[in-house]
Amino acid sequence: MTLTPHPSPSRVTTATGLELTFRPLASADIEVVMALEKQVQSHPWRRSSYDDCLTGRHHCWLAEHRGQLVGFVVVTWAAGDAELLNIAVAPNRQRQGVGQALLDLMLAQVKPFASMVFLEVRVSNHSAIAFYEREQFFELGQRPNYYPTARGREDALILARQL
């Protein structure tokens, strides 16, 4: 299903006073988005995963502060369920409410199409797990050896949240 985004650009001010503008990913953004992700992910996505956001297979929104990319979120949905595929905030903008604002935006966008949101997260990613728990996600189970690591594999937690 094709997304009909909220009127763009949309703006929020986070609880810490950071002014954010949101807009959907465009082709020209992909290099900058990949550069941000490389700063915060041990195994960042390939370009083809971002290309899928331009075809309507996935949906990606960027958060900018004064014209600078500070974070992004990627989601997909089908048959009443949504999956949060990726979310990242630039290191110098973490703990300032950007992740929460991106999650709120994503939840508002998928709400017409889904009643549950699922995601996977590395068991070692304690900061993301704390973030999701604070945002009312709960643990559904685990996927053993789901993610590659520098030394082998690690399990994923499966989290979910009702909309």
Ligand X SMILES: CC(C)(COP(=O)(O)OP(=O)(O)OC[C@H]1O[C@@H](n2cnc3c(N)ncnc32)[C@H](O)[C@@H]1OP(=O)(O)O)[C@@H](O)C(=O)NCCC(=O)NCCS
For 27, 63, 103, 114, 157, the CA distances from 11, given in Å and listed in that order, are: 21, 9, 14, 24, 32
Q: Which of 50, 64, 83, 132 is catalytic?
A: 132
Q: What residues have CB less than 8 Å from 146, skipping those under 6 apart?
A: 120, 153, 154, 155, 156
Confirm or deny that 158 is annotated as ligand binding.
no
**In the set 131, 147, 157, 160, which binds ligand X (CB under 6 A)?**
131
Please identify which residue in the block is written with the tokens 């950007």.
98
Catalytic annotation on 83? no
**Which CB sits closer to ligand X, 77 or 97?**
97
Q: Is 132 a catalytic residue?
A: yes
Decide: is 96 part of the binding site for ligand X (CB under 6 A): yes
Of residues 10 through 69, those in contact with ligand X by CB under 6 A are 40-41
* Biggest CA-to-CA distance, the chain: 45
Residues at the contact surface with ligand X, assessed by CB under 6 A = 40-41, 87-89, 94-100, 121, 125, 127-128, 130-131, 134
